[in-house]
Structure 1
């Protein structure tokens, strides 16, 4: 470790060593106020390399963000910007110490890479406790960060570190199985691709083969340079490990939050457009965590943007000033739920008291077979409608709505299906059209053409956890496979992740039932530097691993069985007119 340096109105300790209980020393950068004293700490622990500049590692995301939101770059040299963590230049002057830790095996921290594992969570715990007793710390440690830096907050909070006093989970998933690796039992290929693009590229041991910090000139990925074989030995085979655990077993539970033990005050910030990774855990955490002091916020735009805008940063600061500094700033009277309700072309802020919203009018729209419409009345006739599982499926469209209608909350689709094979994957997509049938999509957390809401279910995973299921949020146990008998109908309750949209008068809503991922159009040209695939509507959150979806089983014929009792429907959270 070098001596502290004073620059840009901060005192900076580069590459501080923090010893873990097994002898591994992880490395942190510490940004402190110039005036000696004891300050609250904001800490992050994650794999994206503390020395890699946001602008260098994620250039397309950075340029898009500052072009649309100049307040992000204003008031900072931006030299210390890192992917998905706070800008210390905007926090240190307000009396905070910012600590960035490279997680084990990444950046400048040696060791074996094993994401979200119990070992990594113990490391995180020990970093919190280390920060809580440093001479510049007032003993109050807060956690703040986006995505990975939010996900692992839920995990470490389950261990209840004594110095952890508050956390802001900005778009952080929580359930390793349901939120992240297996949507409805279907493998998401996101994590294997993410590992290649965002972790292997900054693994400890790349040394001279990796980048250098633009601020210090130090090698971002450690001073040792390993061979490809040595690097491979020092990391888990992440995608293969996920594939090897198709049910919600001990592997997944060890990487998920224990809600009964999450008692620390928190602010959970979700993104309506984060279908495929980010919103579900934020809502589940708010509802299910044992914390008595908890708040929920939900916004739109790309999933990193509002973390850095004045809107997001000032909200975070009010929260942390209250819990880490004890400031009487009115946060104690902050309504428990703050929503940026989504309209066409804008968001409107509103406060609520709980989630799901207490004023919700749970409304069923029934699938009507003759004209493939959505109706408030059960169908007057029965029909079996088949579709090729590898095609575009079926879309049921409402008539133009007679009045503007707000839909905000969780959704559920109830379907009766059969398959020509022993299984079927169902992709349920809630969509939104103009009166003349032009689809309206939205700028999502990742993808610029995101539908209103999505849900997934593998038919053989249809078993429900009766204790945790709600009519509006089916909860599947994922603890056994129940194969289909070809041609024999079964009932499916499909969770669609929470959403918000105010549908203008005369517009239409729709439910698409498919056997593969939603696709807005065949090509868009939209790409981001940190993802492999073209963005066609689902971002990088795809379900196309042939090892998980062998063609023999998942390219058969699926049949939707519609009866007069209204078995096939979608339950929507409709708000009363305001």
Structure 2
């Protein structure tokens, strides 16, 4: 074996494998309705003589260009270790037929089952299949597993969720995710409008392209039309019936990702689930930030070898759930590395974790139940500007700044300095007795690590639409002045605090840009006493911690050659204009442009998001997202430009989407969508 050590990123490139690899390009996979999906397949060269299990990654992100670089890092790696590694463009994306009408439709699952049917009939197949994927691919791996195809034996799901309503980019705690619902809808709105490759599909590419541009709906219209947890969101949420996923699952994520809570639930509820949580953002652990990365492709092989090749890899002699316990770190908007250590458990919930209550009293967190008192918590619309990106991908500037910049806009409670080191692992929960002076309101709870030198690092947060305090399916108006007993789940954490550090809890009825504001400014009244406290999951070390082995160094297959045509660039600004009382986030991300040497494809993207609000005016909230995507080759060049906007008044939300498509700088298609959607307790 030959390795090329990459000193710059502590990864090594594996250039030779046990089995020689060949790549089959643009393979047609027929669907029962006559449509065709297209795939790249990496195979051992002798697979038809010595058949192999198959691994399926099933995405809408375009195998020819947008994911080609990342695909080259792992699909040949799996093939070189004795698998058919298959990368399929789902219906309506890349070179596959059709248009993509929404996320996670039943059609998407049906097509995946047909792909598996096709795989097991191939001469190189043993008839055993695994699935893997990050984000969309992690979602549909779970959803397809729930469909119980007999050939699907195991899956790896990364950065995904079991609950599409409560734990995705649309809603959190029943609140609209202002920073991400429109942004992600605008992203897919633009992604879906990219054309097929004429060199692959022929002259039909233009007809399909124009159909994608003019007929693919902006997803935000449907998402905003379902503000409750109804049947729309239950579809594709495996927590509706965990028993449907009976095959082994390896659930993986990171503390900086938005989907980490789901790993705890899957380890708890899926009988054959393993869990792994590192310090990472929304990325594969062999390339993720912050460090340490791990040899995740080796871990994936150990998992699939166990279930698809019936080899004892030792993976199931190790703790079932392994997490990176983060040590204290002062707040930074970007971390290159997070200090910490691995801990392991055989079960979740773990017997090593117990609850500790911190009661709120005056401005303190205390161990004893305090005397009853009330605290008024006013609306400050600009609260939340320093909260960081909801789902960090590892870009510079994604993370929360020092929370001292936020704490003056909320009511804050602080504990005494810790007298010993403490590990917190699991889901903090805030229990509170609250009254509102409006019929519609929310509450947001932030949890910070306050260093002895004063810095305040956000370590968890959560929010609840108070109209949903009993049910996300059946919200109801609040009775003004009535005291409600509420429960706010905060994001799970694995955090060690050392002696001298303090916990801080901040409470507010606003959190722009994470949450769309309530229609009217709200004053909450917090009733302090026995029913208002923070519940923290305190962990004691375990003998299993000593059996957690160090992971191998990260390694991948060689990355395909590409020419950089335009460098990446990121700008993130928070603009405060005191004269007109306006606050604005301007997030500009030029992801650069590159040319892939193996197929000549050039592709690039530019995204700008602007979130605006005025002090004391919740109806001034506005989100705007614009994109420019280019795809081309030589004399064939295409560009898609989109603009999306969301605003609201007392009764309705207003969506605007525009799209323009260009071929060789000539506009060839455009469309505009204008939609009014009633507010439904949001």
Q: Secondary structure at the match of 1:43?
A: strand
Residue matched to 1:154 = 142
Residue of structure 1 in register with 2:302 after alignment? 318
Aligned equivalent of 2:406 = none
* Aligned 8 A contact 2:377 2:508 in 1: no
1:421-470 residue CA offsets vs partner (Å, 9 max, x unmatched): 10211121211110232013xxxxxxxxxx3112121000000xxxxxxx
Helix, strand or coil at the partner of 1:98: strand
Query: Matches of 1:262 and 1:329 in 2, distance apart?
Result: 23
Q: Which residue in the other structure is 2:623 paired with?
A: none
Match of 2:184 in 1: 194
Larger Rg: 2
Out of 515, 519, 526, the position equivalent to 1:543 is 515
CA distance in 2, matches of 1:82, 1:220: 23
Unpaired runs of at least 5, structure 2: 1-16, 288-292, 329-337, 384-408, 543-682
**How far 1:206 sits from its partner (Å)?**
5.9
Structure-2 change in CA distance of 1:130 and 1:516 (3 Å): farther
Could you list the per-position Cα deviations for residues 152-202 of structure 1 after superposition, in whole angstroms to 9, with x for gaps in the alignment? 111111110111011111121121111112211112242431232356235
Q: Does residue 273 of the first structure (1) align with residue 256 of the second (2)?
A: yes
Going from structure 1 to structure 2, the CA distance change for 1:262 and 1:506 (only over 3 Å counts) comes to: same
Alignment deviations for residues 95-124 of structure 1 (CA, whole Å, 9 cap, x no partner): 111100111111111213121111111112
Cα separation, partners in 2 of 1:317 and 1:300, compared to 1, 3 Å: same
Give the distance between the partners of 1:364 and 1:202, measured in 2 at CA. Answer: 48
Counterparts in 2 of 1:220 and 1:386: CA distance versus 1, 3 Å: farther
Question: In the alignment, is the contact (CA less than 8 A) between 1:129 and 1:162 conserved in 2?
Answer: no
Which of 337, 355, 366 is the matching residue for 2:359? 366
* 1:508-557 deviation per Cα after TM superposition (whole angstroms, max 9, x unaligned): 111111223378xxxxxxxxxxxxxxxxxxxxxx333xxxx4532xx222
Name the residue aligned to 2:221: 240
Question: Cα–Cα, structure 1 residues 381 and 164, in superposed 2: closer, same or farther, change >3 Å?
Answer: same
Task: Tell me what 1:124 maps to.
Answer: 112
The structural deviation recorded for 1:228 is 8.0
Normalized against structure 1, the TM-score is what?
0.78
Distance of 1:219 and 1:175 partners within structure 2? 37
Structure with the larger helix share = 1
CA separation of 1:144 and 1:227: change in aligned 2, threshold 3 A: closer
1:307 shift after superposition: 4.5
Q: Structure 1 unaligned runs (5+)? A: 1-6, 55-79, 209-217, 441-450, 464-476, 520-541
* 2:282 counterpart (295, 303, 317): 303
**Cα separation, 2, equivalents of 1:123 and 1:300:** 34
Alignment of 1:243-392 (within 5 A): 243-257=224-238, 258-274=241-257, 277-289=258-270, 292-308=271-287, 309-344=293-328, 345-369=338-362, 372-390=363-381, 391=383, 392=409
Call closer, same or farther: CA 1:219–1:458 in 2, change over 3 Å: farther
* 3-state DSSP of counterpart to 2:206: coil
Alignment check: 8 A CA contact 1:405 1:577 kept: no
| Inter-CA distance 173–230: structure 2 relative to 1 (3 Å threshold) | same
> Residue 245 of structure 1: CA displacement?
0.6
Give TM-score scaled by structure 2 length.
0.66
Supply the RMSD in Å over aligned alpha carbons: 2.5
CA distance in 2, matches of 1:100, 1:480: 41
Q: Does 1:41 align with 2:35?
A: no
1:389: Cα distance to partner?
A: 5.0
Output the CA distance in 1 between the equivalents of 2:217 and 2:109. Answer: 16
Shift of 1:48: 0.7
SS of the residue corresponding to residue 440 of structure 2 reads: coil
Aligned to 1:21: 32
Aligned partner of 1:473 in structure 2 is: none
